[in-house]
Structure formats: structure tokens, C-alpha cells
């Protein structure tokens, strides 16, 4: 356990290194921070921090920089995240309130997060398995071709074409639409298969094949892997931190192209809390020089998806965590009102 004074020295080193991008020396610390001790004491504290692996000397005659372990302790000891200003909060709300549909909400969220944090923003679309049905629409495009439109409580819209073996009368279509909605509206997507399994039996024998085809399309829509959709933005922000990737930035860019990797990163956020993975805590080797801050978002206290940012380990953790949390809260409010 470090003493409170040495924790203060570590906090000062992290803050200065994040702000200046330069290794931090004892003289600079005593000049910039009111540590209440002499430079000699600070040098001794820095020696202890280095011995215990919290800071490191990048090269001879240089100051010190935080290690992954040092950043981890800094984050774990944060009393609170940096609150957003009233103008910032108002700007977030106004920007997101202008969204016209779910795709627009996600796109605006990505742009907002990447701008606020100056990092790479990742937003997962609400998962169908965590959603409820708002409405199912069936439209006749031709005598034997229908369009199935599935609308969720999170504003997500899925459309599928259904080719029938025989023409389907408008009266039968209206009957199927009504019966289907009466069973599934307001219900969890995971409950839908059970709720509709006997629906074909409610129709005349000549219509049962078509009804079964429509239901099969509906169930396939729920099961498709396409539900795990992501949007990413702000990759160019990494170029501002080129020296944070001393060897090459290529592994980071390659990792950001892998959707499976990104979904796993976001999945590490707990249902109700924020996850911060620093440097080598990231299981994917290509991201060992980055930190990932992620959190869940949703409405009614229930998480339906995750969002977060990826950036160099030398990031403003209090500010980044505050921005990620605030944006997630506003997105959740929009979903609840949609």
C-alpha cells in the first residue's frame, strides 16, 4: 500500500505527463504542485514508485512516466470523474435530440464521443435479444411477396422480404398482422418463438404454409448475427498521438477493423458500471498500447448495448470517463423517449 503522499506524487506525475507529453522530473513536480515536501523527498518518493513499478524512466537522464500499473492505480483511486460543464451537457442534449432515427442516434453518438474525448469512439447498436417488440408490420408488395417490418422499443427497424409459395389475400394478411401484434407487442424478443409457435393453426389450411413462412422469416431475423452491429469513428484522432505508439500504430488500426475484437472490448463493461482496461490488461495484443473506457447504455435501468472509446494509455482518464458516462446517460434517455 502506498502512502497518501506517494499517491499524490503519482497523481501529479500522471496529470503532468498527460498534459505535457513529456517525462516528469521532481523539480517540475514541486514547482507545479503544492505537495508540501522538499524536492529531495519527492525524488525519494519517485524512487519508491519506480521500484514498485508505478512509474518508469524512458531513457537515462529523463524524468519519469506512468506505467500501466501506475495508470491503473490512478484510475482506481479516482474520487470521481470530471463533471461536464453546463454548456457541454446542453450541447450534448441538443445534438442528440436532433436525431431522426436509431441510425442517426448511433451516428451522432459516435461523432459526439470522438469529439469530446479526442479518441476513437465505438457504439454498439441495441441488441435485439435485449429489446421488446413495438410493432410488426406486414405489407403486400405483390400477390405472393410480402415485406416484414420489425420495430423495437429502442427504435431499431428491421425489414425482410418474404416470398410466399402462393398468393396471400389481403384479408388474411390483415388477420395475420393483427394476431401477430396481439401476441408479441411489448414482449421480449427472446419470448417471441414461444408466443407464435402455434399461430399457423389459427388460419385456414390453405394459408398455413404462408403464415409459417412469415414466422420463419421473423424468427430468422431475431437469430441473425447482424444484430451485433457497431459504428466506429474518430480513428484519425490516433494520429495526434503518434509518439504514444513508438513502434507502429498499425496493430491498433488492425484491431479496430476487427468487429469481434471490438465487441469483446465493449462486452467487458459491466451491466451497470464502467470498465477501464489499461494497456496490457487488454487481451488483444494489438491494443496493448491503448486504454479502453466503456459503459452500458439503455432505458428504464436496463442495458441494451455498450459504447466507449479507445485511445493511448496517456489519456485524460477523469475527463474521458466523465464524457463516456454522460453520453451514455443521454442516449439512454433518448431511447426511453423514442
Q: Is the pLDDT of residue 109 over 90?
A: yes
Q: Is residue 81 a part of any domain in this protein? A: no
Mean pLDDT across the stretch 113-133?
Answer: 87
Domain with residue 187: its CATH number is: 3.30.390.60
Q: CATH number, domain at 333? A: 3.30.450.40
- Of the chain, the percentage scoring pLDDT greater than 90 comes to 50
pLDDT digits (tens, 9 = 90+) for 127-180: 766 778 889 999 999 999 999 999 888 777 889 999 998 899 999 999 999 999
Q: In terms of domains, do 32 and 61 share one?
A: yes
pLDDT of residue 251: 86
The terminus-to-terminus CA distance of the chain in angstroms comes to 48
Instruction: Give per-residue pLDDT as tens, 247-297.
Output: 678 888 888 888 888 888 787 666 558 899 999 998 888 889 999 999 998
156 and 35 part of one domain: no
The domain boundary residue, chosen from 191, 226, 261: 226
Encode pLDDT of 296-323 as tens digits: 988 767 788 899 999 999 999 999 999 9
Q: What percent of the chain has pLDDT over 70?
A: 93
Are 267 and 153 members of one domain? no
| Range(s) of the domain holding residue 35 | 4-76
pLDDT over 80 at 228, yes or no: no
pLDDT for residue 225: 44
pLDDT of residue 335: 80
**Cell numbers linked to 30:** 514541486
Q: Are residues 274 and 142 in the same domain?
A: no
Give residue 271's pLDDT.
59
Q: Please tell me the predicted confidence (pLDDT) of residue 160.
A: 93
Mean pLDDT (the chain, rounded): 88
Residue 296 CA to residue 34 CA, distance in Å, equals: 37
Q: Could you tell me the pTM of the whole model?
A: 0.79
Phi, psi (rounded to 5 degrees) for 256: -70, -15
Averaged over 89-96, what is the pLDDT? Answer: 88
| pLDDT of 30 higher than 70 | yes
Whether 226 shows a pLDDT value over 60: the answer reads no
327 with 179, same domain: the answer is no
Amino acid at each position: 500500500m502506498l502512502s497518501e503522499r506517494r499517491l499524490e506524487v503519482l497523481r501529479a506525475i500522471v496529470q503532468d505527463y498527460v498534459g505535457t507529453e513529456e517525462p516528469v522530473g521532481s523539480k517540475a513536480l514541486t514547482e507545479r504542485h503544492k505537495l508540501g515536501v522538499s524536492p529531495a523527498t519527492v525524488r525519494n518518493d519517485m524512487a519508491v514508485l519506480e521500484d514498485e513499478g508505478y512509474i518508469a524512466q524512458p531513457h537515462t537522464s529523463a524524468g519519469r512516466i506512468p506505467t500501466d500499473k501506475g495508470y491503473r492505480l490512478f484510475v482506481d483511486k479516482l474520487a470521481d470523474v470530471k463533471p461536464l460543464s453546463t454548456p457541454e451537457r446542453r450541447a450534448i442534449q441538443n445534438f442528440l435530440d436532433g436525431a431522426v432515427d436509431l441510425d442517426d442516434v448511433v451516428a451522432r453518438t459516435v461523432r459526439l464521443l470522438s469529439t469530446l474525448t479526442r479518441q476513437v469512439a465505438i457504439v454498439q447498436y441495441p441488441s435485439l435479444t435485449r429489446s421488446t417488440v413495438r410493432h410488426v408490420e406486414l405489407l403486400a408488395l405483390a400477390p405472393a411477396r410480402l415485406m416484414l417490418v420489425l420495430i423495437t422499443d429502442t427504435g431499431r427497424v428491421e425489414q425482410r422480404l418474404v416470398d410466399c409459395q402462393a398468393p396471400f389475400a389481403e384479408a388474411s394478411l390483415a388477420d395475420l398482422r393483427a394476431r401477430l401484434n396481439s401476441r408479441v407487442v411489448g414482449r421480449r424478443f427472446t419470448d417471441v418463438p414461444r408466443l407464435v409457435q402455434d399461430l399457423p393453426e389459427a388460419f385456414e389450411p390453405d394459408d398455413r404454409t404462408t403464415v409459417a413462412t412469415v414466422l420463419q422469416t421473423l424468427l430468422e431475423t431475431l437469430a441473425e448475427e447482424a444484430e451485433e452491429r457497431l459504428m466506429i469513428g474518430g480513428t484519425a484522432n490516433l494520429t495526434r498521438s503518434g509518439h504514444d505508439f513508438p513502434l507502429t500504430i498499425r496493430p491498433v488500426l488492425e484491431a479496430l477493423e476487427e468487429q469481434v475484437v471490438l465487441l469483446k472490448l465493449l462486452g467487458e463493461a459491466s451491466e451497470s458500471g464502467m470498465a477501464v482496461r489499461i494497456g496490457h490488461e487488454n487481451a488483444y495484443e494489438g491494443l496493448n498500447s491503448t486504454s479502453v473506457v466503456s459503459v452500458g447504455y439503455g432505458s428504464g435501468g436496463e442495458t441494451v448495448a455498450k459504447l466507449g472509446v479507445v485511445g493511448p494509455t496517456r489519456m485524460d482518464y477523469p475527463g474521458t470517463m466523465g464524457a463516456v458516462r454522460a453520453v451514455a446517460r443521454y442516449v439512454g434517455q433518448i431511447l426511453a423517449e423514442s
